[in-house]
Amino acid sequence: MTKLDRAKFTKEVTVPSVEILSKNVGKSMSVFKKYLLKMEKLKPVTEVQGNDEKRKLLLDPILFETLDKLREDDQQKLSELDINKNCFSNSCLHLEYHNFRMDDIFKAVLPEGKEGCTSYSRIGHIIHLNLRDHLLPYKNLIGEVLVDKLIGVKTVVNKSSAIDSTYRNFQMEVLAGEADFVTEVKENMCTFKFDFSQVYWNSRLCTEHERIIKLLPQKSVLFDVFAGVGPFSIPAAKVRKCRVFANDLNPSSYHWLKENVRLNKVENVETFNLDGRQFIREQMPPFLLTRPTEPIHVTMNLPALAVEFLDAFIGLLSGVELDPLLDITVHVYSFCEESSAFSEMRTKVESALKHSIEDEQIVELVDVRDVSPKKHMLRLSFRIPPDVLTKAAEEETSSEPKRLKLDLETQDR
């Protein structure tokens, strides 16, 4: 079935059932609960026609066979409630499409022996799929079933192109429902509104967003280089009371970032629509030259390219004496191969900075998530070496960074 035919799911079935006194239904559940027939919009405990003192329990024919197949202790419990083999019978049920669970429908219509529609992301009223090739002939059917079966879902889309590294959005195809891409998501005690077709949002990063927010000290300072619609910036300002400088190059992301600042009623966020390197070079020095005493954090969540932007820190405060030293922690993300992910991540960062990172400068090295079986998204959080910031301009293209040997197995993963 490549076109959803709901009528095909209409059928008459016979299932085992048991009639018991209404007053004993609760007591009998210690035995029957695991055998109850579980289908959508179907109550497993029903009235017995013409007898107000009894109830009928519908049982799953796959799980329940006969009374004598139950464990002896369960049989004893039922005997004490005067439930014997004469209480059992078969009941005929009329089932339709609305009675079947989503997984059962997919199992019935999708190719046998191949992976089904096992995962999706939900973004407000939108379901986002990334279907494998063998499921593409069934894409519209899959979309219709998801709209039918998931409460509050109005739109189902399938990713039809790779993510654009410049603006971090991608082409999508509407499989079912309305072509309405403006949605709202609640995360980390904040509300985010955005046009999913024009910006980047990944619900699977919710835990990582929360981890970073917890790392930020109260009333610290955050420079969010690739802020998107604000999943780091907004809760940092609202929950941790940080002063935030939030930037994104994508005009749509910038628009919704400003809207989310307004929506969440945060006042300590300044927003920018600049290239990431330009943002670091132009917005950080004036603030750093005020000699702030608060801890400063920099988030760089653009895994495909973020490491390349680290060179913007080289010579950022050239000719300036840092006394006292500034406390700047950078959280940078990148994709790495599974086999050498941790060593690769550190090498990438040191190469971009043209400087080694001491063990004590590393806060943590985290495997954020598996992108594919051999590709991981990692975050390296480290305190930026002062020598990088004060390096003279003529030194920026000089010698290769000194490499520091490190037993990566000792790092916090």
Annotated binding site for S-adenosyl-L-methionine: 209, 248-249, 275-276, 301
Distance CA 66, CA 83 (A): 13
**What DSSP character marks residue 71?**
-
Distance CA 296, CA 398 (A): 28
Strand intervals (E) in 248-360 = 269-272, 296-300, 328-337
Please state whether beta strands 51-58 and 45-48 pair in parallel, antiparallel, or not at all (unpaired): antiparallel
Tokens describing residue 308:
């390349």
DSSP output for 281-307: HHHHHHHHTT---S-EEEEE--TTTGG
Distance CA 165, CA 65 (A): 57
- The one-letter code for the residue type at 105 is I
Q: Are 295 and 217 in contact (CB under 8 A)?
A: yes
| 94 contacts: CB under 8 Å, gap ≥ 6 | 10, 11, 12
Residues in the annotated binding site: 209, 248-249, 275-276, 301
